[in-house]
Structure 1
Amino acid sequence: MSDAMRLRLVFSLLMSFVMSLLMSAWVTWLNIGLHPDFMLRWRHAFLAAWPVAFTVVILCAPTVQGLSRKLIGKLIDK
């Protein structure tokens, strides 16, 4: 496996972990507040979200990166 691919996988793993952790906590809190079983529900939401988030990051990151380059290029050209 190339260094670039290894970097992409590690980045995707860490980014999806952080985003899933924070977003599942936020949405769980919005839905139920600080309910007595908040941690249990948050854990369930996180474990359901992380594999999906990882897949989305792996599949969409190259497209988003390319779009970002185009947008920044247009901003720099102005």
Structure 2
Amino acid sequence: MKPFLPRKYEHIAFGLMLSGLMSFLVSGFATLISLGVSAEFPLSWLKAWLPSWMLAFPVVLVVAPFVRRVLSGIVIRD
């Protein structure tokens, strides 16, 4: 697959994918614990995931630079 996204948007694409996957998994796990496997599980999961992703995406974009700065102070560089 040929790349198509300019490098300057990499951090946004990273945040979108990371927040989407993490919120998908965490909301699914929380919904499963709450409801168990049932007929309403898929729709309830979707209803929990989409608002969670809408919150997680901007949070990841804001928090990621802070985390990088903190890690640069505690990680040994070769």
Gaps of 5+ in 2: 1-5
Which consecutive aligned stretches of 4+ in structure 1 deviate over 6 angstroms post-superposition? Answer: none
The correspondence of residues 14-33 of structure 1 with structure 2, limited to 5 A, is: 14-33=17-36
Q: TM-score, normalised by structure 1?
A: 0.84
| TM-superposition CA deviations, 1:2-33 (whole Å, max 9, x none) | 733x0110000000110011011001011111
- In terms of fraction of residues, the more helix-rich structure is 1
Query: For residue 38 of structure 1, what is the aligned residue in structure 2?
Result: 41
The correspondence of residues 27-66 of structure 1 with structure 2, limited to 5 A, is: 27-66=30-69
Gaps of 5+ in 1: none
Report the aligned-residue RMSD: 1.4
| TM-superposition CA deviations, 1:25-75 (whole Å, max 9, x none) | 0010111111220000000001110010001101100001111111213xx
Q: How many residues align?
A: 72
Amino acid at match of 1:3: R
> Identity over the aligned pairs, expressed in percent?
31
Which of 3, 8, 22 is equivalent to 2:7?
Answer: 3
**Separation (CA, whole Å) in 2 of partners of 1:11 and 1:53:** 12
Q: TM-score, normalised by structure 2?
A: 0.84
